[in-house]
Structure 1
């Protein structure tokens, strides 16, 4: 992949994630004025986000990224990143 294509994809992904952040924050404000069952629905997004992060880590590993790369991106040590997200990749050790 060319450098300009990677940069464009990175910008598009950053913009996409920014929109997702704004959407989730707006959902929190809406739920603040809603019924309890909507709070439950909002809390379910925690698992959806955890699953999305796992998918992202799995994809990064499949593309050849190391646990050190994952650790740098997540602010963890390689060992902590491995412990947190390695369940699908036990063969990948830090």
Structure 2
């Protein structure tokens, strides 16, 4: 047989296969169906799988963070992202921003009020930054501060908690109206609540903590380092 002498320029080349992209709406709907099915499967008697199911809360929080940071790097502004999340631009910046000035800093409501902060403001900030206990999130639900293994409070909470505890009798109605039972107990009995969270997370008894001198609001506003 003679060698094929056809002109390559006239011979159509095979089309390159385009990778199929699943629409995000359909993909999200599938994930939600899987999560609901997961809950039903665990509810059918698999009590040991309950731990894995609750761990999805942290996984979703991480996924949202990856998505938000990716959108910001893609070119969307914090304002664009905030509109979709239904929160303020400042809240998105504090929770998902990459710098310490954007994320994990002292709540603006505390910094702007300074020493004139009211009990009502302290209560609202306390409730917003409260981490909860079951399941414990990996980051502050308000500012996005990533909790270390031995802590369960963001910098804002570490400032607000002692201030609010000392001034709790000034406006008891604010505490009753704005705090849940769990939040109120955490404020009144902070050591027992934080010990329980440590035990649940690590699976071992919490170590005996060393005495810690809580920084005052004036020290933090002036940038004073109170670390021993």
- TM-score between both structures, scaled by the size of structure 1: 0.77
CA RMSD of aligned residues (A): 2.0
Question: CA–CA distance in 1 between the matches of 2:33 and 2:61?
Answer: 18
Equivalent in the alignment of 2:76: 65
Greater Rg by CA? 2
Equivalent in the alignment of 1:84: 95
Equivalent in the alignment of 1:3: none
User: After TM superposition, what 4+ stretches of structure 1 lie above 3 angstroms from structure 2?
Assistant: none
Give unmatched runs, 5+ long, in structure 1: 1-8
Equivalent in the alignment of 1:49: 60
Q: Give the helix-richer structure, 1 or 2.
A: 1
Aligned length: 82
Give unmatched runs, 5+ long, in structure 2: 1-20, 103-228
Q: Deviations over 1:46-88 (max 9, x none)?
A: 11111111110111011111111111111111111112212xx
Question: CA–CA distance in 2 between the matches of 1:51 and 1:59?
Answer: 12
